[in-house]
Structure 1
């Protein structure tokens, strides 16, 4: 049965929106690095049978671009979600998902700095509008916070995570024709999990945090490892192949919408006026940058 690409893209954003809420919901039950490590271990176990034969065939292509693959593993697997889960110990899932919406803007800025790509007037205006929205979100709409640089540390950690995802996305874009998708994803999952292992061991030894191995925690690990990783990835890739990257990227703006809905319904977060205003600015800026 073939699903419409629009439905697959929306499914991916629903699952990714849920990732932010799950990370916040289990913040008191499992430490963040451990959650990220178990997420990718679960993803590897599930994805390995699906991608092993392809990886075996395409191994030379992956090995030929080894430095890029390592950076992809560091930024996209080891760093991004780990930093998001750390940030969710200090900020709300709504804030985190809204910050994530600025990813296309980060990519434009990185492309301008490192690839010397020219920015159109719409991209410049959209970037300024989105960054204003980000400042509004992390300051809680308070001008005094902006003046005193008094921001929520969780928001700043998520902003670093978004920067890592921007680097990851830019590399994916640059190596799209040279690195095979499934094989590269499997290898980066394995490398990212290996990178996280020593940090996980240190976190468990040095912290007084006791993991609550409840049904809630185990379900969360399975959700982020299978649905927010494998199912979302496969759905998103299929949608992008059918519609194209530019049209598909607009659907990323659904992530904060679904995250906000889930956060309000399931974990009792309150939607603030600063989040609404800042979120609209971020998303409007992203839409403006895509204007021809």
Structure 2
């Protein structure tokens, strides 16, 4: 049975929305770096038989661009989810998912600063609108907190994660024609897990928090390792290939929607006015930034 690409993209965002809630739910049961390491260990074991033959055949391409592969592993695998899981020890899954929605805006900013790409008028306006929403969320809508720079450190850690994912996204874009998808994903998972291994060992040896093994903890590891990593990845890639990256990118805005619904239902998190207002501003800014001039035909003949 063949599913419409739109359904696959929505399904992927639903699974990723669940990732934020799962990360928050097990914050007291498993240390964050250990959780990230176990996620990628499970993902590697599951994805290895799927991508092994492709990786074997495409190894020369990977070897030729191995510096980029290492950077992808560092930013997209080792750093991003680890920082998200650390942040979820201090902030809500709703806030974290809303912070994650600023990824397109962060990409525009980095492209402007690092690649000297010019921002369009709509990208500049969208960036300002989204950043206003972010400030509203991390300050809890309090002007006093904003003026005192009194922010939730969990929100700031998640923003650091978004920065890492934005660098990862720019690298993916740059090496799109040079690095094959499946084999690159498998190798970056392996390298990212190896990067996390010493930090995991240090965390387990020094942190007072121990792993509380239970059905829910094991289920959470399997969810993030199989469902949020492999199933979501395959669904998203299939949808992107069918619809194109630009059209597919808009679907990422479903992540905070699903994360919020799950957080309210399963974690009893309260949806605050500041989150609603800030979230609307963030997502509106993303939509504004995707507007093209061609969507508004001129009244003047050329």
Q: TM-score range by the shorter chain?
A: over 0.9
- 1:101-116 alignment runs, 5 A limit: 101-116=101-116
Per-residue Cα deviation, 1:128-163 (whole angstroms, up to 9, x for no partner): 000111111111011111101000000000000000
CA distance in 2 between counterparts of 1:114 and 1:2 reads 41
Q: Equivalents in 1 of 2:54, 2:210: separation in Å?
A: 40
Q: Which residue of 2 aligns with 1:148?
A: 148
RMSD: 0.5
- The aligned counterpart of 1:183 is 183
Aligned counterpart, 1:205: 205
Match of 2:45 in 1: 45
Number of residues of Structure 1 aligned to a counterpart in Structure 2: 292
Shift of 1:210: 1.7
Say yes or no: does 1:240 pair with 2:240.
yes
Give the TM-score, by structure 2 length: 0.96
How many Å separate the matches in 2 of 1:178 and 1:94? 36
**Structure 2 residue aligned with 1:231:** 231
User: 1:174 maps to which residue?
Assistant: 174
Partner of 1:97: 97
Provide structure 2 residue ranges, at least 5 long, that are not aligned to the other structure. 293-302
Give 1:208 deviation, angstroms. Answer: 1.4
Residue 288 of structure 2 aligns to a residue whose secondary structure is helix
Q: Distance in 1 between matches of 2:113 and 2:178?
A: 23
Q: Distance in 1 between matches of 2:281 and 2:83?
A: 24
- Pairwise CA distance, 1:195: 0.3
Q: Deviations over 1:20-43 (max 9, x none)?
A: 000000000000000000000000
Separation in structure 2 between the aligned mates of residue 2 and residue 168 of structure 1, nearest angstrom:
30
Q: Deviations over 1:41-96 (max 9, x none)?
A: 00000000000000000001011111111110000000000000000000000000
Most deviating of 74-83 and 112-121: 112-121
State how far apart, in whole Å, the 2-side matches of 1:136 and 1:80 are. 23
| Runs of 4+ more than 2 Å apart | none
Counterparts of 1:70-149 in structure 2, within 5 Å, are 70-149=70-149
Q: 1:183-208: CA deviations, max 9, x gaps?
A: 10000000000000000000000011
Question: TM-score under structure 1 normalisation?
Answer: 0.99
Greater C-alpha Rg: 2
* Corresponding residue number in structure 2 for 1:8: 8
CA distance in 2, matches of 1:149, 1:140: 12
Cα distance between partner residues in 2 of 1:181 and 1:112 = 26
The residue that corresponds to 1:62 in the other structure is 62
**SS, match of residue 208 in structure 1:** coil
